[in-house]
Amino acid sequence: MATAERDLARGAAGIAVENPATGGVIAAVTATSPQEVGALAARARAAQPAWAALGFDGRAQVLRRAQKWVTDHADRIVATIVSETGKTHDDAVISEIPYTASALGFWARQAPHYLADEKVRSSSPFLAGRKLVVRYEALGLVGVIGPWNYPLVNSFGDCIPALAAGNAVILKPSEVTPLTSLLMAAAMRECGLPEDVLIVAAGDGATGAAVIDAVDMVMFTGSTETGKKVMARAAETLTPVSLELGGKDPMIVLADADVERAAGAAAYYSMQNGGQTCVSVERVYVEAPVYDEFVDKLSRKVAALRQGASSGPGTVDVGAVTSPPQLDVVERHVEEARRAGARVLTGGAARDGDGRFYAPTVLVDVDHSMACMREETFGPTVPVMAVRDADEAVRLANDSPYGLSASVWTREAARGEALARRIECGVVCVNDAQLNYLALELPMGGWKASGLGSRHGAAGIRKYCRQQSLLVTRFAPPVDLQFYPFRARTTKLFGRAVRLLYGRGKRA
């Protein structure tokens, strides 16, 4: 029996993990108390030097084995994810497995390139002949704190580049969904990761706070509200943080868009994963000439969605609301909008019976005074608003505290790209949404209240490292001009050299 399963079978006091699609308790996981985190950190720190000493090739071997493990055991991982989130089998297969399998190979391959020594040439003549190098070294111990909506991608997924760089990791998954992280920690041991290099500390926010105190860097994914607390706590020890936070992603549909594709995409990207994706389509602005056609197509598609407990591929389209407080948020947003004059074209209520479900919902006649257009809903709802033109759409898209990602839909790709550049978001897709997440080469990070720093690309692994600059002088005279004692003649020479080098341009 694998360690993770032994943990679960033990039924020890701790976290009762629920299946949100059935309402049944499926496992009990021992929680790590805040007081225990220090000892875990000491173990991880003791294990880290040997892991770093394996070098890129040695670590890549483990990551490649893990890649094979993930594809060989995809069914088991999917079953674990589905059981603790209530998401559909298809959501787990389409989003969680391909990302993780590709990320394991990507970071194994790219880590040595992104973290290779960089030779730098200086334009300063004062440095002629000096060797300048930028290098990266693993920080030591990284704390990854994750949310419940993607227990594989947004918890274990962020450990991969940290491990590839040579760090040890303490992973603090959401207390709502700890099972997938425990499974992956056991899997990594099976694939040859030395003991204690990846330690899972299941627990709530207090355990998360203790992790912040114990590590050299925090990679946090979760709500903006908690992100602020994480940053404040990390400030006490000057621990660097990378924050991937909430969003209110706008979708802009221009009059010349392929309306069928745009409506299909709006239905999919607002309802996929039950709308519980940080980069879900959370609000839609449609140019007046195609508004009616778009709304008609979208509401038909959403009304046709099958919802329920997923029993395998293709059985349902939309799963459960994973976390109990989230259902309250969804209900509040829809009810407030309704009371303020919005119309519900389909859905609009929680479902009775077992499990926690909210019917896929389309809202129209909405405006920016409503929470459903301003706050993150994070559920299966899609509010749609008509706009006069693209300028109004961009203005409304930017009228938000968030800036995670956005999409623009038009047959004129160049115009779409020009509009994309005016949107205040870390990522903007034209005639697509969310797919950028699979481009591990492309940085992804929020602006404004959506985050700090980014994942993916070179910055996505360098953040787990200390950067060191080296200046090496091989050939030099016994005395440099600036050495003591100061001499008026030499100082004047410096002044003349500066004027000659930098002072020859025109003033205006």
* C-beta closer to ligand NAD: residue 218 or 263: 218
CB-wise, 254 or 382, nearer to ligand NAD?
Answer: 382
Name the residue number minimizing CB distance to ligand NAD. Answer: 208
Cβ at position 208, least distance to ligand NAD in Å? 2
Q: Binding of ligand NAD at residue 242 (CB under 6 A)?
A: no
Please tell me the distance from the alpha carbon of residue 361 to that of residue 366, in angstroms, as a whole number.
13
- Name the token pair of 147: 């949310």
C-beta of 149: minimal distance to ligand NAD in Å?
5
Q: Do residues 329 and 313 lie in contact, with contact meaning Cβ atoms separated by under 8 Å?
A: no
**Does position 398 bind ligand NAD by CB under 6 A?**
no
Report the residue from 3, 22, 30, 223 that binds ligand NAD according to the rule CB under 6 A: 223
Q: How far apart are CA 133 and CA 419, in angstroms?
A: 39
Closest CB 176 distance from ligand NAD, rounded Å: 7
Distance CA 157, CA 401 (A): 27
Distance CA 18, CA 28 (A): 9
* Angle in degrees, 0-180, between the axes of helices 224-236 and 205-214, rounded to the nearest 10: 40
User: In angstroms, what is the minimal distance from the CB of 235 to ligand NAD?
Assistant: 13
For residue 190, give the amino acid letter.
E
Binding to ligand NAD, residues 437-496 (CB under 6 A): 446, 451
Which residue among 48, 85, 174, 299 contacts ligand NAD (CB under 6 A)? 174
Tokens at 51, concatenated: 């892991």
**Which residue do the tokens 């709500």 mark?**
223
Comparing C-alpha atoms, which of 257, 297, 269 is closest to residue 387?
Answer: 257
Taking contact as CB under 6 A, which single stretch among the options 181-189, 200-208, 256-264, 312-320 is the one that binds ligand NAD? 200-208
Region of residue 94 (left: phi > 0; alpha: psi -120 to 50; beta: else)? alpha
Select the residue interacting with ligand NAD from 151, 157, 208, 460 (CB under 6 A): 208
| 246, 274, 275, 460: which one binds ligand NAD (CB under 6 A) | 246
Q: CB–CB of 402/448 below 8 Å?
A: yes
Stretch binding ligand NAD (CB under 6 A), from 114-122, 240-248, 330-338, 461-469: 240-248
Decide: 89 and 312 in contact? Cβ < 8 Å: yes
Distance, CA of 504 to CA of 471 (rounded, Å): 29
Rounded to a whole number of angstroms, the minimum distance from the CB of residue 445 to ligand NAD is 8
The distance of closest approach from Cβ of residue 396 to ligand NAD in the complex, given in angstroms and rounded to an integer, is 20
- If one counts every other C-beta atom within 10 angstroms of the C-beta of residue 256, the result is 15
Residue placing its CB nearer to ligand NAD in the complex, 446 or 460: 446
Q: How far is the CB of 499 from ligand NAD (least distance, A)?
A: 50
Selected from 7, 18, 175, 317, the binder of ligand NAD by CB under 6 A is: 175
Residues 6+ apart with CB under 8 A from 283: 248, 249, 250, 251, 366, 372, 373, 382, 383, 384, 385
Closest CA to 196 of 141, 145, 253: 141
Q: Which stretch binds ligand NAD (CB under 6 A): 239-247, 332-340, 387-395, 457-465?
A: 239-247
Query: Which pair of tokens denotes residue 137?
Result: 């070294």
Query: Which helix (H) or strand (E) element contains residue 468?
Result: strand 465-472
Nearer to ligand NAD, 101 or 214 (CB): 214
Counting contacts by CB under 6 A, is residue 356 touching ligand NAD? no
Shortest distance (Å) from residue 355 CB to ligand NAD: 19
| Number of separate helices (H) and strands (E) present in the chain | 18, 20
What does the per-residue mask of binding to ligand NAD show for 285-324, with x meaning CB under 6 A? --------------------------------------x-
Q: Which is nearer to ligand NAD, 33 or 469 (CB)?
A: 33
Query: Does 202 engage in binding with ligand NAD (CB under 6 A)?
Result: no
| Residue 148 lies near ligand NAD (rule: CB under 6 A) | yes
96: its two tokens: 């969680």
Binding mask 82-101 for ligand NAD (x = CB under 6 A): --------------------
382 in contact with ligand NAD (CB under 6 A): no
CA torsion sign for 324, 220, 439, 77 is negative
Indicate the pairing of strand 217-221 with strand 141-145. Answer: parallel
Q: Tell me the catalytic residues.
A: 244, 278
Q: Where are the alpha helices (DSSP H) in 304-405?
A: 324-339, 371-374, 390-398
Q: Is 367 in the site for ligand NAD (CB under 6 A)?
A: no
Sign of torsion, CA 352 355 360 363? positive
Minimum distance from residue 239 beta carbon to ligand NAD (Å): 12
Query: Among candidates 321, 322, 260, 254, which has minimal Cα distance to 296?
Result: 260
- Does 146 sit near ligand NAD (CB under 6 A)? yes
Q: Does 154 bind ligand NAD (CB under 6 A)?
A: yes
Query: Can you give the binding site for ligand NAD, defined by CB under 6 A?
Result: 145-150, 154, 172, 174-175, 204-205, 208-209, 212, 221-223, 226, 229-230, 244-247, 278, 323, 376, 378, 404, 446, 451
